[in-house]
Each structure stands twice: as C-alpha cells, then as structure tokens.
Amino acid sequence: MKYLTTFVTTLLLIALTACQPNHEMERPPQDEKEWSIALHGGAGYVSKDMPEDRKQAYMESLEEALAIGAEILENGGSALDAIEKTVNYLEDNELFNAGKGAVFTAEGKNELDAAIMDGTTLNAGAITGVTTVKNPISLARKVMTESEHVFFSAAGAETFADQVDVERVDPSYFYTERRYESLQRALEQEEEESFNMIQTDEEKAWKYGTVGAVAKDKDGNLAAATSTGGMTNKKFGRVGDVPIIGSGTYANDLVAVSATGWGEKIMLNVSAHTLASYMQFKNATLQQSMDYLVDDVLEPGDAGFIAVDKYGNFSMKTNTGSMFRAATDSDGNKEVGIWE
C-alpha cells in the first residue's frame, strides 16, 4: 500500500507539473538573412568632445573593416575567413588596442592574446602572451585547424608559431609612442600609490580595449574572433577574457559572441557563453539575451558585446558609455557608431 501511494503521488506531481504554464519566452518567427557581420574596436568611455579628425579616422576605419568582411560574405566566403580578415585589418591599425596598436604591460612589453571559434564544429583556437606574431588571430586559427589543442600560451605559443605559416615581426614593430606614453603615466600614478589613475578620456576607452568580429555566412555557419593587447600596465602573466573560450569569445550553431571590456568581470560571468545559454534555454531572441547579459548580469561600466545569431540578426551593446562598433547584413541593414 505504501508503494502504491508513492506511485500515485508521483503520477499526480508529474501531471501537475505538466499543467504548469511555461514561463519560457517564445522566440517569434524570423526572416533569415543570407549573411551578417558585426565588429567592435573596444569599449570603455570616450568623450563626445573627441577631436573631429580623430573621430573621422575611427569611423573610416570601422567602415573599412566592415567592408572587408562584408565583401567576403557577399561573395560566398566563409564566416571564419570574414572574421579573420576583418580582425587582421583592426590588428594592423594602430588606432585599436590589438596588434600594431597594442598597449604596454608593466614590464614595458606588448603581449598579445587572441581566440577564434567555429560555431558549426565547436572547435576553437586561442593564444596568449605572444610578442612576435604580427596577426595573433591568424595564429589562433592555426591552433584551431593545425593542432590537437585549443590553447597555447607565451613561449609555447611562440614555438607553435615557429611550426606554422604566420607572419612574424620583431617586438619593436608593436611600439607606438601614444601607447608608451600611456604606460609612463600609469607607472607614475602607481608610484604615487593612486589606485584610481587619472586618465585622459582616450586612455579610459583603451583600459577596456579589444577588437573582435562575429559573422554568419551563406551556408549558415557562425563564427567569432577576438584579439587584444590587454590592459595598460597589466601585471606579469596576467591573462584576460579574450582567449578564454566561453568568456570573451564563443560560437555555436545558434549564436556567435565577442566581448570587450573589463576582462576579469567578463571571465567571472563566463559572459559570451552566458548569452548563448540564455538564448538557448530561455528560447529568447538575440536582443533579449544581449539585454539580459549587459543589463542584468554585468554591472554598469563592465563590458560591451557584439553578436550575430543563426537568423543573421546582429546586436551590439555596451554598458560602458561607448563602444567602437559596426555591423551590416545581406538585407542592407547597417550600423556604425561609437556612443550609445
């Protein structure tokens, strides 16, 4: 009798649970774009009083980077090719904190991180702490396609670079006077034991600087890529969110995400994967998922994100005040901007 009562109770609980209303969101039917791409060049705070010529330089660079990726996708190229070439351009442009424009560590070096992920295969490649690779995102892709591993660091990443076809440079290639001066100011403030450094508006922006791109191609494949020089005056061995798969970079068959901002906060919230999981398990739209991450999970001033979903929708959002960003799709939708 005891077992019969338990069995009946269990059946009743199952029946009652089945009758409960489903509180998941209902993702509405959506028109699918043939292709879509979004990119970012760093999030932080940039004053709207930025000199007009410098603002124009940023806007033109964002436009050019976007055109590179869009042309590849329009011509039937892969999402991986589109994001790699887009990020290559940003890495070669010293306006941005990646590659040529990388900031300096506390030791006076330029140490570069990058990651790339294929949403179709869930394979990824990441590197951290390289100093002689001209385009770190290309090395990250080689890790994904030409090794059995996902992540190489520092000397190991350099050794792997010796074994594959990537362009190498002398570390002095990454030197820019503007970034070096930023380090000197940071060191001076540190000597004065001032934790909250007095920074110019531009330096505030690059405190959280990173570049990245996400895309969907005509075959429906999604991919994400992110590359960075890290934080000015970062300490020995510090690794940020960018090369941590699921934190600063993530892609699956539903969405591709790239982050920029305060790496520690992005990592602690496994941010890129959090957006993807919310979208999947809550049956939410891309914008609902982006809003949840930026507004509910993270604190104001923490980060910004770009994402593209399987329908070709794109979303770009930050809670830092500004984010260099651009996006377009096969339907002609386009957005290029800096401020919210």
pLDDT tens by residue, 128-156: 999 999 999 999 999 999 999 999 999 99
**241-244 contacts, C-beta under 8 A, 24 or more apart:** 241/266, 241/267, 241/271, 242/113, 242/114, 242/115, 242/126, 242/128, 242/210, 243/113, 243/114, 243/115, 243/126, 243/127, 243/128, 243/140, 243/151, 244/115, 244/126
Per cent of the chain over pLDDT 70 is 86
- Structure token pair of residue 240: 């940020």
Indicate if 210 belongs to the active site: yes
The predicted structure's pLDDT at residue 208: 56
Phi, psi of 111 (to 5 degrees): -120, 125
Global pTM exceeds 0.85? yes
The predicted structure's pLDDT at residue 25: 65
Q: How many CA atoms lie within 13 A of 32 on its CB side?
A: 11
The predicted structure's pLDDT at residue 19: 42
Instruction: Give the integer Cα–Cα distance in Å for 227 and 137.
Output: 6
Residue 197 has pLDDT above 60, yes or no: no
Give the other-Cβ count within 10 Å of 122's Cβ: 12
- The full set of domains in the chain, from first to last, is 36-339 (3.60.20.30)
Instruction: Give the integer Cα–Cα distance in Å for 116 and 114.
Output: 7
- Structure token pair of residue 321: 């005040």
Instruction: Give the integer Cα–Cα distance in Å for 126 and 239.
Output: 12
Q: Are strands 123-130 and 151-153 parallel, antiparallel or unpaired?
A: parallel
**Element of type H or E holding 60:** helix 52-74
Name the active-site residue from 105, 128, 132, 210: 210
Residue 35 has pLDDT above 70, yes or no: yes
pLDDT tens by residue, 44-76: 888 899 999 999 999 999 999 999 999 999 999
- Compute the average pLDDT of residues 315-332: 97
Give the list of residues 6+ apart from residue 15 with CB closer than 8 angstroms, or none: none
Place of tokens 């007095």: 198
Taking a C-beta distance cutoff of 8 angstroms, is the pair 41, 66 a contact? no
Answer with the residue of higher pLDDT: 236 or 307. Answer: 307
| Amino acid at position 300, single letter | P
| Amino acid at position 268, single letter | L
| Helix, strand and coil in the chain, % to nearest 5 | 40, 25, 40
Instruction: Give the integer Cα–Cα distance in Å for 317 and 35.
Output: 20
Taking a C-beta distance cutoff of 8 angstroms, is the pair 303, 282 a contact? no
Answer with the residue of higher pLDDT: 23 or 31. Answer: 31
